[in-house]
Every structure is written in C-alpha cells, then in structure tokens.
Structure 1
C-alpha cells in the first residue's frame, strides 16, 4: 500500500510506501527535503504534519522533543505514513538534480594528518564520475548492512580522487578498520551524494563558516567551490578544536587568507596545551562568532561538526543575535552514541 504526501507550500506530491520513511521516499523521487543524519539524531528534517497520521519511530529526544510532537512536529527521516499526508517543511532546490547512486571505489591513499585524523582518498572506476554539490556526503555500505557517513572534502570540479577526512572513534567498527587494517587498493562501496548542506549561491550575504574538528571537511569543499566559481562574498572560517594539532590543515586555511582578499580565518582552541604556546582565541568556537559578529541579521551561517556545537550555534545565533532561521545551514556529525537518549 502507498500513500500520497503533499507539501503544503509548493503543492508538490510524492508517494510513500507502507513502512517507508517519508524522507526516504522523497529522496527516491527527487524531492528536496532538508536532512542530515537520516537516523533521527540531528533534527534537520523536522517539519509539521498538517493532516494525516504518522508513526514516529525511535529518535533522539534532543532532535524532537515531546512538546514538539504535541504541536504536530515530526522527524521525516524516521516517520512512516499511516494515511495520506499534508506536510509543511522547507524544500531544498538543487539536490533533486543529483542522482543518488551506489558505486564501487578503490582506496587511493591514506594520509595521517593528526594523531586521530586520516585523509582518505578514493578512486572511482575510470568510466564513472560522481556529480554532487560541495558540502554533501556519501555513505559507505558495510558488509553487515550498516552504513557510515562521511562528507566529501574535495569540491565537485576536482578531477582527482574523492577526499574524506575521518576521525578515529576508538571502538567504532569502521574507523578501527580505517586506522588499523585498511590499505591502499582496498575496494569499498558507497552510496551518494546525500545531504542538503551546500552553499546557497543565490544570496549575496556575507558567509560565516563554522567548523569543529573534521567538520572542516565539507567546509573545505564549499570554500574551494566558491573560489573556483568566482564567488566574491566575504567569507569567515571559524574552526574550533581542542588543541593546535587538531587544526590539521591550518596551513591551507592560511593560504586562503593570503590568496583571497575577502577571506578571514579564526582558529579557536578549547583546551590548548602548554606545548601549543597558543596566543589565539580560546573557548567555544560559536562564542567567537558572537564576539566578532553580535548582529548576524545580514549573514548566512554554514555550521558543521559536533552536534553540541551545531545545536548551540543554532539556538544562540537565532534567539539572541538576529540570524534568520532560514539562513542557518548545518550538517551535524551524529553517531550511534547520539541516539543513546532515544525515545
């Protein structure tokens, strides 16, 4: 059995099968709904159910609170239809033009750039090219049926291998393998491109790029795409990490500063060591943005990294510093651990 889903604002319709998440059906049919993690942890796909009945499956309580449920809100990545639906959710143009595909790839290179970060480069078959938007991600298809998501750090125009930045999560099946057993020429399979985190090029607003840890990866792709396409909007990169070594490509960011008159780079350390001899900014990275830009009403913000950083930035920027809700774009790097407090 299939049900019809109507998006209130545009009137667009698509069909969802019984027991199929609404978001999955939308992606399958090229409908651009906002999303990030696809597992109920980040809240990016949140919207309202105007009419009809859904079943809301397991999700993080921080992504969808009980009071939001009572107001008719839903996470469409883990909501299934029990009837025809009318929903109210912001559509994302552009992503529907990118075909989601399953592809094999070969490990081209593994470069350790920090104690716990590897730059992984993937070579596609000679006859294949992945079309994607800078900022999107792929999902590795593991042998046990599980998936692991990583953003592409290389921009779409790049002719060489796909570049990913992978942080070691001790005890994590995939990252333990990457850091312990993976070698060049290994074969992997992935699905992509996925996600709605990408640069909105129809705006002329100054851009704030906010990264924590390896959240720098999709931010790097966005910056390099902007450079390639000649975008001249002012850009400021705030990159937060624990210590100096965790800003693992600082030299690249400093090169952008030297080459681009409209580009600023602000590294922020939360736990600098004595060996760092750090005289730069410290504390929470999103607080550094607020210190520099107390009025964000005429900016766009692109935030990527740890869920606590993304959530804090979204809350504080919108509630206290004038950022319009529709000008905050985020990719929250969630993991299975983020579903511990699931409901």
Structure 2
C-alpha cells in the first residue's frame, strides 16, 4: 500500500511505497527532510508526529527514547508509515533539490595530513555533472553492500576547474573501510559513490553571525562551506572553533591562515583537549563547545553549524540551547556516526 506524507509547516507532500521508510521516500522524491546517519543511531531525523501511525524498525535509545516515542516523536530514517501521516519537520531543501546519483570515481590523490587523517582526491566522470551543496556528503558503496559516509571538503564551484571530490578520512583501526584506505588503496583505484546526501549546508535567508564548530575531521564540510562563502562573496561574521586531542589533529592550519587573510570577518579559535608538554601548546584547552560558551554566553542572535563526533554535537546542541539561548532552529549539525556507533558499540 502507498500512503501520503505531509510535512508541516512547508506543506510539501509525497508518497511512500509498501515497507519504505519515510526518509527514503522523501529522498527519492526530492523532499528535503533533516537526517544524518540514516541508521537509527544519531537522532538527526527526529520530528513530531502530528497525525497518523508510524512503525519503527531497529534504532538506538539515544536516537529515540521510549518516552519520546510515547510523546509523539518519530525517526523518519527507520519509521514506516502505516497510514497517511502528517509530520512537523523543518524543510531543509527547496523543491528541485540536486539529484542523487551513483557514480564510479577514480582515486587521483592521497596525502597524509596527519598520522591518522588521509586527504583523498576522487576524480569524477568528466561527462557527468555532479551538483551538491557545500557541506553535503557522499556514501561509498562497498562490495558487500555496506556504506560509508564522508563529507565533501571542496566547494561546488571547484567542479568547474576539475570534476573531483576532496574527502578527509580518519583511520579507525579495525575499520573495514579505513583499514583499506590506509593500507591497500592506491591511486587509480576505482570506487563507487552515491550522493549528494544531507541537510548540512549554509542557510542564506539571514545575516546572523555564524559559529562553525568542528571536531577532528568534522572540519571537512565546514571547509567546503567557508570556501563557498568566499566564492559567493558572503561576508557574514563567522568564527571557526576547531577541537582536537593534540595539535596535529588540527591538520589544515595553513589553509585556515590563508582564509583568515582573505576574509576579514572570519576568525579562528583552535582548542586542544589532551595537550602534552612536548606539544608546547599555548592556546585554548578543554572541550571545544565549552570554549564557544566562554566566548559567547548569549547565542540568541547566532547560527551554529556543528560537525564531528556525536558526543561533541549532542553536547553543543544541548548546552547552546539550554544555557546560551540559541534557538533550536538555528542549530545545524552533521554528526560523524561511525560503523561502531551505528552498531551501538
């Protein structure tokens, strides 16, 4: 059976096929709903059920608790409509969003940015245009059917010179895909990707100052957004807060210095949580989201774009809204949910 899904307050409507999740149906029909992991692990797609019946597949308690489900919240990534449904959810893409494509890509460059971060360049098919918003991600389609998600670190306008993607991949020891990236993978290898995915991109409907919050390789999509801002002449005041355990984790300091020189309204606050004496670190220390609160006790007039480890993103969202007055609708996030996170490990 097919059911009709209505999204308020935008009024957009689409249909689900038998057994299809609400999110999958929305993506298939170009309806921009918020989401992150697509596996019931991060909670980014959580929204209010206004009417109708939704049955959930497997998901983690932290993404949707039993109490939240009782209170009428659903996860669209693992929720299947059992009737016509009305949801209350932010619309994150306009009608006519960029089409999702499957493409072969060729590894054209590999550079170690630190001991555990690889900058990977992927050459795209020259005859096919790939469109995306700065901040979105692609998924690698692995041979066994598994998928791995990585954000594009280059802005869309760079496609005009060279159809390619830049990805920042952190080595997760024992990880099926990252062990391959840091082991057997080599230039000229052919892989398959699908995208673009995600609702993490710059909103252009206001001039509010921006806080960019990154942990580790969560810097990648923020890099793309900043490059896009420069290209488009968007001069909103913006501050990058980038957190890592050790100074080497902040692996693109030179790129940031170039942007600071070229963009007068951009500033940068690096934050290290586990500096050792040999690091000779004299900058900010502690948790990166707490550094934001120290500098901005009132965030009511800001927008925040946060990307990184789920614990960092969740802590920032909770504290910024509860303690600093950030409106919930002004927090945009993309949590890097690993395969271990999705498995509940």
TM class by shorter chain equals over 0.9
Separation of aligned partners in 2, 1:271 and 1:316: 22
The residue aligned with 1:99 is 99
- In the alignment of these two chains, the number of paired residues is 342
Higher mean alpha-carbon deviation, 92-101 vs 131-140, is at 92-101
Using the TM superposition, give the Cα deviation of residue 42 of structure 1 relative to its aligned residue in structure 2, in angstroms: 1.4
In structure 2, what is the equivalent of residue 128 of structure 1?
128
State yes or no: 1:267 paired with 2:270.
yes
Q: Equivalents in 2 of 1:64, 1:204: separation in Å?
A: 33
Q: 1:96 Cα deviation (Å)? A: 4.4
Deviations 1:5-58 (A, max 9, x none): 112323321110121110000010011111111111111111112222111111
Cα root mean square deviation, aligned: 1.2
Q: 1:95 to 1:168 in 2, by over 3 A?
A: farther
| Matched residue SS, 1:154 | coil
**Larger deviation: 63-72 or 237-246?**
63-72
The corresponding residue for 2:310 is 307
Choose the corresponding residue for 2:286, options 283, 287, 295: 283
How far residue 95 of structure 1 moved from its aligned partner, in angstroms, is: 7.4
> Structure 1 residues 87-96 or 315-324, which shifts more?
87-96
Partner of 1:37: 37
- Mapped to 2, the partners of 1:325 and 1:15 lie a distance apart of 28
Q: Distance in 2 between matches of 1:96 and 1:149?
A: 23
Segments ≥4 residues shifted beyond 6 Å:
none
Residue 61 (structure 1) aligns with: 61
Question: What does residue range 119-158 of structure 1 map to in structure 2 within 5 Å?
Answer: 119-158=119-158
Match of 2:319? 316
Cα distance change of structure 1 residues 120 and 341 upon mapping to structure 2, 3 Å threshold? closer
**Which among 223, 226, 229 is matched to residue 226 of structure 1?**
229
TM-score by length of 2: 0.97
User: For residue 181 of structure 1, what is the aligned residue in structure 2?
Assistant: 184
Contact 1:61 1:341 in 2 (8 A): no
What is the match of residue 169 of structure 2?
Answer: 166
Is this contact kept in 1: 2:32–2:97, CA < 8 A? no
Residue aligned with 1:215, SS: helix
Which residue is 1:20 aligned to? 20
Is 1:135–1:153's contact at 8 Å kept on the other side of the alignment?
Answer: yes
Distance 1:205 1:40 in 2: 32
Runs (5+) with no aligned partner, structure 2: none
Q: Report the counterpart of residue 191 of structure 1 in structure 2.
A: 194
- Following TM superposition, by how much is the alpha carbon of 1:273 offset from its aligned partner in structure 2, in angstroms? 1.7
CA distance in 2, matches of 1:249, 1:60: 34
Asked if the contact 1:60–1:338 (Cα under 8 Å) also holds between the matched residues in 2, the reply is: no
Task: Rate the CA distance shift 1:209–1:76 in 2: closer, same or farther, 3 A.
Answer: same
Q: What stretches of structure 1 of length at least 5 have no aligned partner?
A: none
CA deviation vs aligned residue, 1:86-144 (integer Å, no higher than 9, x gap): 11111113374201111111000010110000000000122122100000000010100
Alpha-carbon distance in 2 for matches of 1:27, 1:211: 26
Give the CA deviation at 1:340. 4.4
Normalized against structure 1, the TM-score is what?
Answer: 0.97
Contact 1:14–1:26 (CA under 8 A) maintained in structure 2: yes
* 1:149-200 deviation line (CA, Å, top 9, x unaligned): 0000000000332100000011111100000000000001110000000000
